[in-house]
């Protein structure tokens, strides 16, 4: 026995191949552990795994002072808001966009679940990107809606443009429009 070792704790720990001490495997022998026995290498099925024992579940951990987890829209029956949140832009980008001219166009496509779409400018030119957070008003844009918008450069390179402050001026006739809260209206 090692000086100062406590036999009730199973000390000293067993030495394994290469002089490696494995105190967590101390006291295991082929006779006491099925995983170390020769029969474990045979075709016998291994014993079913036991569920882990957690300190809180067996009363070893004091949980009386523990606080509840913060609410999350992904937990429980809380539904996230159907309204899109506004994007944050630098003050200078916001000022440049709001001082810019107002353009007219037609919504080419818009996917609410993806959160973006495109506008075809009335004066021609390439389609303009539209993000869900830049749509003003109560209706989700659909193909054929006439819109007005301003333009802002898209970071980080500021090489492309996107539509901001998008307002639907005329709903496409003969189509169903959805409000941000989910109500469907025929136009």
Residue 113 lies in a domain: yes
How is residue 14 written in tokens?
């067993």
pLDDT (tens digit per residue) in 103-115: 999 999 999 999 9
Residue 12: its pLDDT value, please?
Answer: 55
Residue 80 lies in a domain: no
Residue 166 lies in a domain: yes
Query: What is the average per-residue pLDDT within 168-184?
Result: 93
Is pLDDT of 119 > 60? Answer: yes
pLDDT (tens digit per residue) in 72-95: 555 555 555 554 555 565 656 666
Q: State how many domains the chain has.
A: 1
Residue 123 lies in a domain: yes
> Average pLDDT over the chain, rounded to whole?
73
Residue 140 lies in a domain: yes
Say whether the peptide bond before residue 111 is cis (omega within 30 degrees of 0).
Answer: no
Buried b (16+ CB within 10 A) or exposed e, 79-99: eeeeeeeeeeeeeebeebbee
Residues 6+ positions from 127 with CB-CB distance below 8 Å: 108, 118, 119, 120, 121
CATH number of the domain to which 138 belongs: 2.40.50.140
Question: Using an 8 Å Cβ cutoff, are 79 and 71 in contact?
Answer: no
Q: Domain residues for 175?
A: 101-186
Residue 152 lies in a domain: yes
Residue 155: its pLDDT value, please?
Answer: 79
Residue 70 lies in a domain: no
Question: Using an 8 Å Cβ cutoff, are 156 and 135 in contact?
Answer: no
Residue 91 lies in a domain: no
Helix (H, G, I), strand (E, B) or coil at 171: coil
Phi and psi torsions of 135, nearest 5°: -90, 125
């Amino acid at each position: 026995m090692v000086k100062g070792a406590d036999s009730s704790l199973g000390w000293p720990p067993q030495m394994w191949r290469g002089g490696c001490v494995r105190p967590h495997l101390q006291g295991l022998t082929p006779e006491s552990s099925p995983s170390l026995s020769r029969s474990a290498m045979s075709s016998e099925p291994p014993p079913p795994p036991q569920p882990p024992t957690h300190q809180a579940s067996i009363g070893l951990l004091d949980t009386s002072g523990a606080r509840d987890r913060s609410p999350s829209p992904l937990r429980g029956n809380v539904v996230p808001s159907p309204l899109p949140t506004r994007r944050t832009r630098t003050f200078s980008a916001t000022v440049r966009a709001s001082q810019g001219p107002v353009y007219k166009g037609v919504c080419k496509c818009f996917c609410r679940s993806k959160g973006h779409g495109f506008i075809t400018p009335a004066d021609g030119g390439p389609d303009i990107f539209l993000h869900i957070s830049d749509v003003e008003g109560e209706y989700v844009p659909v193909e054929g809606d006439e819109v007005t918008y301003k333009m802002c450069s898209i970071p980080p390179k500021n090489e492309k443009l996107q539509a901001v402050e998008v307002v639907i001026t005329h709903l496409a006739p003969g189509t169903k429009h959805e409000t941000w809260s989910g109500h469907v209206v025929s136009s």
